[in-house]
Structure 1
């Protein structure tokens, strides 16, 4: 896309670069910029045009280095698990909010104003009843994780209003699709996990009747939205939904995966309905469809991959990965 050419001469940092979304983001960024550096607590595979900063995003020194050498910061690092946040709220608070505090401090002290793209979540809307959900709906978080995400968004918006930097927060729906990395959180990337199980010949468990609705958005569409958020002008201080705009029941999504896995392997696994486990977070009992017109109008972005085509690509990608192992 022509607007992405604006990234070509920028110094770009990516936190969470070794993660499920971050790894593909870096791969796509390298098509536009030869001045990228990744930020991770572990050493990542070497890539052309990509430098590495091994550091902890919960420390100020790391953010001092990031801000001092960046025009655009894609901040994907931090806790991504609702259940981990519930189990250890303090750790979730630190991993979500400390990086934002250090970013703000570094920007103020260095007097630099980078563009900051923050990946948030649509679950902060809570137990929605009126669909589709637009950004005008007041967030009503019901989990510790979502409270922390919302607070991080608000801190970034306030810092933007104060003129410290330009921030954009992207509220992501249910992301799926093949990547060189898998989500480290057991409650993320569910369709990816289902695909791997089906390809391995293992039966698939479906909690309840499977009639709750989700907005499944393909990984490539999400990465393209994240890239655009770093390049498009006039959107500073805004929050945007990033979803397909189409609702799919859990049962339908799982059935699509099972059907496609059968096409690949010649064997069909069973889809078994089981009881929801005790301790399931209430956020699981929700229906959600994103209204995404706001970002479409602002950035010219549209989700391109349907759930049917996306599942085909997901299963194909998982099969290729399985064959390499």
Structure 2
């Protein structure tokens, strides 16, 4: 059956790849995107490769999920909605609180309000959630119990202790976080993602619409914005390396993330939108493997064929987590999907693509200065 798929935020990194995946299977795709300058540049028609790419396979509507009129137009005829539209900078969210809440929470509530009060043909909504809703995620105590530590203390990190602690416990061991874990986000961004997910998973079924949530880990790959200073460390560090600038490695460089390649994310999201067994379910989307920042830097040096000075500074950002690794067994068990691209192969593909792109102007330091001015970067 041919579906009419609406992807909000569909001109972004994930959305543009996902649009191609649906189009490849013969589905019709509509994209609603605000074409923010932070992602697409000053004149998206000429400065955004992502927009050019998605325009080849989808009907692109410029508009915001905060506008009921834009949403109503985009929803015409839609049978599947994939809600990607969101402000995404963890650090930036800590001082642009109203904008993040208005877009992420307000946009989601407007989407549901329209579905609740207007005729439509939507059968399933997929919400793009985030690993950020887990906060520090799951750890094992010395006697093997699972605990969910709270946010790291400013005083501890100022003293150079970046590890995660839990009251009354000794040393903790990181363990993969599954979908039943405690949700306690440590940033405004994480709070808004939790609220987005809760709204979709609670309200959509009452409207007779199937709901599915995909909790993305750290997504990377070709097509990722190289100009957005909030987009992720692979893009940020790649730009610094190509400019020959020093890389400031926060904390001790041993903080880690679960990096998942764009092709795996697209396939997982496609299944979340189309597989019968995905209805009503929540899935982690990650690689299940942790990679430290120090390892990221080494991999980028190798892939880009160039090294720059690095400084392990001990700087830290309030709201950042220490580690998080996804337990991806549920998606494998219920949908038959396992990530296929290793970090080594993914970084090789990413850096090959980076070397074909122009060297972007570096606005990363400006983003750090904004945080430091607000006492969020120490």
Q: TM-score, normalised by structure 2?
A: 0.76
- Larger mean CA deviation between 129-138 and 268-277 belongs to 268-277
Q: Per-residue CA shift, 1:74-130, capped at 9, x if unaligned?
A: 111121112232112222111011222222222222153331111111011012241
Aligned to 1:113: 122
Q: 1:1-325 alignment to 2 at 5 Å?
A: 9-42=2-35, 44-45=51-52, 47-108=55-116, 109-130=118-139, 131-179=175-223, 181-182=224-225, 186-262=229-305, 267-277=306-316, 280-282=317-319, 284-322=320-358
Q: Per-residue CA shift, 1:6-26, capped at 9, x if unaligned?
A: 6xx110111112212112222
Q: Is the 1:296–1:302 Cα contact (8 Å) retained in structure 2?
A: yes
Point out 4+ residue stretches in structure 1 off by more than 6 angstroms: none
Note closer, same or farther for the CA distance 1:132–1:120 as it changes in structure 2 (3 Å cut): same
Report SS of the residue matched to 2:81. Answer: strand
Q: Is the 2:81–2:122 Cα contact (8 Å) retained in structure 1?
A: no
* CA distance in 1 between partners of 2:358 and 2:352 (Å): 10
Note closer, same or farther for the CA distance 1:149–1:240 as it changes in structure 2 (3 Å cut): same
Note closer, same or farther for the CA distance 1:124–1:184 as it changes in structure 2 (3 Å cut): farther
Q: Is the 1:178–1:317 Cα contact (8 Å) retained in structure 2?
A: yes
Q: Is the 2:5–2:81 Cα contact (8 Å) retained in structure 1?
A: yes
Quote how far apart the aligned CAs of 1:324 are: 12
Report SS of the residue matched to 2:94. Answer: helix
* CA distance in 1 between partners of 2:196 and 2:279 (Å): 15
* CA distance in 2 between partners of 1:129 and 1:302 (Å): 21
* CA distance in 1 between partners of 2:28 and 2:310 (Å): 47
Q: Per-residue CA shift, 1:158-189, capped at 9, x if unaligned?
A: 1233144112111111111111x517753332
Note closer, same or farther for the CA distance 1:162–1:285 as it changes in structure 2 (3 Å cut): closer
* CA distance in 1 between partners of 2:289 and 2:182 (Å): 21
* CA distance in 2 between partners of 1:300 and 1:290 (Å): 17
* CA distance in 2 between partners of 1:175 and 1:203 (Å): 24
* CA distance in 1 between partners of 2:179 and 2:287 (Å): 15
Q: Is the 1:107–1:164 Cα contact (8 Å) retained in structure 2?
A: no
* CA distance in 2 between partners of 1:11 and 1:103 (Å): 17
Report SS of the residue matched to 1:321. Answer: coil
Q: Is the 2:76–2:120 Cα contact (8 Å) retained in structure 1?
A: no
Q: TM-score, normalised by structure 1?
A: 0.88
Unaligned runs of 5+ in 2: 36-44, 46-50, 140-174, 362-378
* CA distance in 2 between partners of 1:113 and 1:16 (Å): 18
Q: Is the 1:116–1:167 Cα contact (8 Å) retained in structure 2?
A: yes
* CA distance in 2 between partners of 1:191 and 1:118 (Å): 25
Q: How many correspondences in the alignment?
A: 310
CA RMSD in angstroms, aligned pairs only:
2.2
Quote how far apart the aligned CAs of 1:30 are: 2.1
- Larger mean CA deviation between 84-93 and 106-115 belongs to 106-115
- Larger mean CA deviation between 225-234 and 27-36 belongs to 27-36
Q: Is the 1:81–1:188 Cα contact (8 Å) retained in structure 2?
A: yes
